[in-house]
Structure 1
Amino acid sequence: MTRTVVVTGAGSGIGRAIASTLAGREWRVVVTDLDGAAAADVAAALPNPDRGHESAQLDVTSAEAASAVASDVAGRLGLHAWVSNAGISFMHRFLEAPVERYQQTVDVNLKGVFVCGQAAAREMVRAGVAGSIVNTASMAGKQGRVPFLADYVASKFGVVGLTQAMAYELGEHRITVNCVCPGFVETPMQSRELEWEAQLRGTTTDGVRDMMIGDTPLGRLEQPEDVARAVAFLLSDDARFITGEALAVNGGAYMD
């Protein structure tokens, strides 16, 4: 039986890799993104198109929009898994960080995980599906020693805690909830962060990149596919007795 998974923030970067990896396995993937055109492009390029992959535009900060997508997918295809991956970042020194940016970061990175997880879980419970939810956190959700990203750190610590709270309450419905904590991932978002951090440190993007690699025992920048394979594991039957975990996928850049 083909199972269906919704992936948020899948128009590029980690989300795109997650969608592609899952489509290459046993999943029918519904690609969602705030940029509906980007989501459609990703869905059209996924492997195993005969499974009927789809796309949808989704603002993860909207409970109504998340519920509409979850209800539609559950009603037509069955909803077996949900990956809350959408996220944003901005870089500022803490003393100069605008409150508006804090609110935007928390809305997307934390509120988005809350409303999407709630929408997905409601449909799974209604249908009696022993589903799986995976949230994208960060190694910045396990340590505050991350420069210029105080609002991002706060949001990702929140994702780790929310994942545990969801796992505890949804366990009785046989729904597992876990999160992945990536490190220095080579994505368009990281490219922007390299430029911001280089300016804030008074160095070059190559200098910041070398610093990231130096902090990673496995000696390279993480690729989106590294994260995607971990997500695939957490959605697999091999992980059915794992819940409430924050899985570090960072090449050893942070160990706990």
Structure 2
Amino acid sequence: MTNAAVITGGGSGIGRAIATRLAERGWQVVVTDIDLSAAEATAASLPAVQAGPHEAARLNVTDAAGAAGLAEDVSARLGLGAWVNNAGISFMQAFVDVSEEDYDRTLDINLKGVFICGQAAARAMIAAGRGGQIVNTASMAGKQGRVPFLADYVASKFGVVGLTQAMAYELGPSGIRVNSVCPGFVKTPMQDRELEWEASLRGVRPQDVQQLMLDETPLGRLQTAEDIAKVVGFLLSDDADAVTGEALAVNGGAYMD
């Protein structure tokens, strides 16, 4: 009984696409978000699966007790097979203008949230003795600092890539695989906000910023949330049985390592 997958930040964007992809692959999905109504809307939109009905829950990823309680509950009732740490935020400001408050908030949600929820998931998986899989959403900005106006975000996502490796190394003997995905320029509501912010900071139009993104991408198109979801589906499949500790780029070639 390990057919349940928990997704954080599943109320919209990449998280909703991941939930959909996993449901299509037969996973019973527990959609979490700090916005419960958004999580419920995603869960209601998912295709039915044999494993059981999809569920929704409110989760603040910085709440250790809440994350632990959710992981233990899902493990006991449904069988926790996978946990996807997808929740994240971004602000765009010049490095010299980033406040300590904004820095702390970005690191709390993007990095500490992955630590807290990853720890909760791992503990529940170890206690159940069935192994499992964890996927963390990092970013192309977790592999290079050449990203304008996102210094705090870059720091958080570099941290996610390193944390993923540390988790994979320690949790492997317990049969738990841990990987991260590194999206590039993904067309989501978050990116729409970033286009407006970056255009304002550069003194250009949003469409000019988007063209810069396209010019940097060999495949010549922005990524979609579904592009990222497909890779998460792969990482949680038997096809990736020997893959752990990786930071898999999904960026159309915009950054190659």
Whether TM-score is above 0.5 comes out as yes
Q: Distance in 2 between matches of 1:49 and 1:243?
A: 27
Residue type of the partner of 1:100?
E
Q: Which runs of 5+ in 2 are unaligned?
A: none
Q: 3-state DSSP class of the match of 2:80?
A: coil
Identity among equivalent pairs (%): 67
| Partner residue, 1:244 | 245
Instruction: String of CA shifts for 1:5-37, please: whole Å, max 9, x gaps.
Output: 000000000000000010011211000000001
When normalised by structure 1's length, the TM-score is: 0.98
| Partner residue, 1:47 | 47
Q: CA offset at residue 129 of structure 1?
A: 1.4
Q: CA offset at residue 229 of structure 1?
A: 0.3
Aligned length: 256
Where in structure 2 are the equivalents of 1:223-238 lying within 5 Å? Answer: 223-238=224-239
Residues 89, 109 of structure 2: 8 Å contact kept:
yes
| Partner residue, 1:32 | 32
When normalised by structure 2's length, the TM-score is: 0.98
| Partner residue, 2:149 | 148
Q: Structure 1 residue runs of 4+, over 2 Å off?
A: none
Q: Distance in 2 between matches of 1:203 and 1:229?
A: 34
Does 1:170 find its partner at 2:199? no
Where in structure 2 are the equivalents of 1:11-26 lying within 5 Å? Answer: 11-26=11-26
Q: CA offset at residue 156 of structure 1?
A: 0.1
Where in structure 2 are the equivalents of 1:162-241 lying within 5 Å? Answer: 162-241=163-242
Q: CA offset at residue 68 of structure 1?
A: 1.0
Q: CA offset at residue 49 of structure 1?
A: 5.4
Q: Distance in 1 between matches of 2:78 and 2:22?
A: 16
Q: CA offset at residue 150 of structure 1?
A: 0.1
Residue type of the partner of 1:27?
W
Q: 3-state DSSP class of the match of 1:60?
A: coil
Q: Distance in 2 between matches of 1:75 and 1:218?
A: 44
Residue type of the partner of 1:46?
L
Residue type of the partner of 1:77?
L
Does 1:127 find its partner at 2:131? no
CA RMSD of aligned residues (A): 0.9
Instruction: String of CA shifts for 1:104-138, please: whole Å, max 9, x gaps.
Output: 00000000000000000001000111200000000
Q: Which runs of 5+ in 1 are unaligned?
A: none
| Partner residue, 1:111 | 112
Residues 67, 119 of structure 1: 8 Å contact kept:
yes
Q: 3-state DSSP class of the match of 1:217?
A: coil
Residues 26, 49 of structure 2: 8 Å contact kept:
no
| Partner residue, 1:97 | 98
Pair 150,106 (structure 1): closer, same or farther in 2 beyond 3 Å: same
Q: Distance in 1 between matches of 2:114 and 2:49?
A: 28
